[in-house]
Structure 1
Amino acid sequence: MRKRAAEAEVDPGEDRQFVAAIARGFDILHAFRAEDPMLGNQELAERTGLPRATVSRLTHTLTRLGYLTYLPRFAKYQLGLGAVPLGQLALANMSIRRLAAPLMRALSEETQASTSLGKRDGLLMVYVEHVSPRTAVALQLEVGSRLPLALTAMGRAWYARSGEAEREAIDRDLAARQPGEWPAIRDGLREAVAMQEELGFTASLGDWQATVHAAGAAVALPGGEVVALNCGAPAFMLGRERVMTEIGPRLAAVARRIEAMARGPG
C-alpha cells in the first residue's frame, strides 16, 4: 500500500492550506507505473490506501477531465492524454537535463552501461533522463521509471547529499513503512553516506535487484536542489570491482562537471 501524502513529508492535519481532495487525485495518478499501465479501482484502492468508493469517484472525475482513459474491455483505467502535456512541460523546464544529457551519453557509450538522471519523489527516485548504450543487453528502464530511494545507487546518492533534516524524515518514513527491513536499509544508507564522503559516489550491488549493479552520484544545483545520477548494468557485465574502481569514479567526475556547468562561469 502506498500513501503518497505521507511521502510528501506534509501533515495535512497541520496545514490548513492543504487540499486533501486534490492530493487524493494525485495519489491515483501516481499509482500508475510503466510496468503497470492499466489499473482497476480495486488495484488503485490497494495501492493508495483509499476506500474503494472514494477511488471510484476520483477515477470518474479524472476520466471526465481527460487525465484517465477507461478501457471497457479490461474494466481498467490508463493515464489519459490530459496528463501528457504536464509531464512534457515539467521535463522541458529542467535545464539540468540539457546540461547532463551529452555527458551521460558519452559515459554510457564508453562504459556500455545505462546512465540515468533522477529526482526524488517521496521515497522514490523518478528518471527524468535516461541513456542506454547501443548494445543488445541493457537495463529495461526509461524516463518516468520509479525506483526505491533506499535500495538504489541513485537514491542513496541523493540521500547522502541531502540535508540532515531531510535524511531524518526519510528515516522515520522508512522505519514506519518497513519495520522488518529497516535495520538492513538503515545500514545501507549509512554506508552510502560514508562512501559519498570518502569516494564521492555510492553503490548498489544487488540490493535493489540481485541481477543489477550500479554506482550513483549526486549533483547539487545552485538553487539548493539535489538531483542524482546512476550508471548501471546487469551484474554479469558489471562486477563489484569495476563498479568501485571504474564506474563510480567516472560517474563522480561527471557529476562534478555538471555541477560546475550549472554554476556557470566564475
Structure 2
Amino acid sequence: MRETSTQAPVFAAETQQQEDERTDPLFVNSLGKGLAVLQAFGSDWDALGLREIAQRTGLNTSAAQRFTHTLTQLGYLKKDEKTRRYRLGPRMLNFAYSYLRANPLYDVAIPIVISVRDEWQETVNVSVMDDTDAVVAIRMPSQRRINSNTAIGRRMPAFCVSTGRAMLAWLPPEERTAILDRTDFVKLTSHTITDRAALEAELDRIRQDGFAGVEEEADLGELAVAAPILDGDRKPIAALGITTSTAYWTMAQAREKLSPIVQQAATAISRSLQGWHGF
C-alpha cells in the first residue's frame, strides 16, 4: 500500500522556493522553508535528526537547525534532548481542528456519516480534493474492520480511489484535464488503471452512473464506492464513500446495495450545503 504527498521528501525546499521567487515576488521564502521542514516528517513514524531534515528539504544543516529550533519553540516540533531528534508536536493538530471547524461540510456531514456507518457497519469517509490527491477529512471506521493506515489527513492519488474519481468526474472538463495533466499515474497495485484514456472513459461512466466504484486499485483486498458532494454550482466540494473488504462484498453487490446509499447520503449533504461555495 502506498500513499502520496505525505511521504518524504515532499520537495527540495530551496529548489521550489527559488522557482516560486522567480515567478511570484510576493512569495515569502522563509515561510516556505519552515513549512517544508514540517512536511519533511510526512507519514514516517520515526523521529528525524537535523541531517535527515536537511536531506529531505534541500536545506543546509545550519538553516535546518534554525527552522527546527524555531518550530520547537513554537510547539510545532518536539525535541528529544537525549537523541537530539525531532517529532511533530501536538500543536500541529490545531491546524486540522481549525480547518474542520471552519468548514460547514464537517458539521453537516458528521451525523449522516455516522448514520450510514451504523446502519451498514462499514467504514465511511468524506474526502476533499487537494490538487491531484484525495484527502480524508472525515472518517468513521467499521467496528469489524479497522484499517489503521487510513486516518484523517491521509492522502491518496485521486485517480485511483473512489472518492477521488467521484470528484474528478464532476469537475468541469478544463479543470479535470489540468489535474490529470499533473497526475503521476503510478501503479499502486496490479489492478490500478494507469492508462489515461481508459481512466477518462471510466470518469465519463462514473458521471453517467452517479457514483464511482473502485476494486483493489489502491489497496489489495479493498473495494469502495463513492458519490460527489456538490455545491450550489454543481461543482464537487467533496465526496462520500463507503470502503469495505472483498472478503465481505463483491463489486456487483456493492454497486447494487451500497451505491444507492452513498448517492443518497452525498445528495443529502449537498442539499444542506446549498448556498455555500468552495474555492
Task: Tell me, yes or no, whether TM beats 0.5.
Answer: yes
**Equivalent residue of 1:150, what SS?**
helix
Please tell me whether residue 253 in structure 1 is matched to residue 261 in structure 2: no
Deviation at 1:82, TM superposition (A): 3.1
Please tell me whether residue 262 in structure 1 is matched to residue 260 in structure 2: no
Conserved? CA contact 1:156–1:189, under 8 Å:
no
**Equivalent residue of 2:159, what SS?**
coil
Q: Which residue of 1 is the match for residue 224 of structure 2? A: 214
Inter-partner Cα distance in structure 1 for 2:126 and 2:46: 22
**Equivalent residue of 2:273, what SS?**
helix
Q: Which residue of 2 is the match for residue 134 of structure 1? A: 143
Conserved? CA contact 1:138–1:233, under 8 Å:
no
Inter-partner Cα distance in structure 2 for 1:72 and 1:185: 49
Inter-partner Cα distance in structure 2 for 1:153 and 1:43: 35
* Matching residue within 253, 267, 278 for 1:242: 253
Amino acid at match of 2:244: A
Q: How does 1:58-97 map to 2 (within 5 A)?
A: 58-97=67-106
Conserved? CA contact 1:34–1:144, under 8 Å:
no
Amino acid at match of 1:256: T
**Equivalent residue of 1:139, what SS?**
coil
Deviation at 1:85, TM superposition (A): 2.3
Q: Which residue of 2 is the match for residue 198 of structure 1? A: 208
Structure 1 gaps of 5+ residues are: none
Q: How does 1:132-211 map to 2 (within 5 A)?
A: 132-135=141-144, 137-140=145-148, 141-175=150-184, 184=194, 186-187=196-197, 189-211=199-221
Q: CA RMSD in A?
A: 3.2
Deviation at 1:251, TM superposition (A): 0.6
- With over 3 angstroms needed to count, the CA separation of the structure-2 counterparts of 1:183 and 1:255, relative to structure 1, is closer
Conserved? CA contact 1:217–1:252, under 8 Å:
yes
Deviation at 1:17, TM superposition (A): 1.8
Deviation at 1:133, TM superposition (A): 2.8
Deviation at 1:130, TM superposition (A): 0.9
Inter-partner Cα distance in structure 1 for 2:197 and 2:56: 27
- With over 3 angstroms needed to count, the CA separation of the structure-2 counterparts of 1:172 and 1:20, relative to structure 1, is farther
Q: Which residue of 1 is the match for residue 3 of structure 2? A: none
Q: Which residue of 2 is the match for residue 20 of structure 1? A: 29
- With over 3 angstroms needed to count, the CA separation of the structure-2 counterparts of 1:46 and 1:214, relative to structure 1, is farther
Structure 2 gaps of 5+ residues are: 1-8
- Percent of counterpart pairs with the same letter? 22
Number of aligned residue pairs: give it. 258
Amino acid at match of 2:204: A
Deviation at 1:174, TM superposition (A): 1.9
Deviations 1:1-44 (A, max 9, x none): 4339999xx95532222223322322332344556363444554
Amino acid at match of 2:207: E
Deviation at 1:240, TM superposition (A): 1.4
Inter-partner Cα distance in structure 1 for 2:161 and 2:12: 20
Amino acid at match of 2:231: L
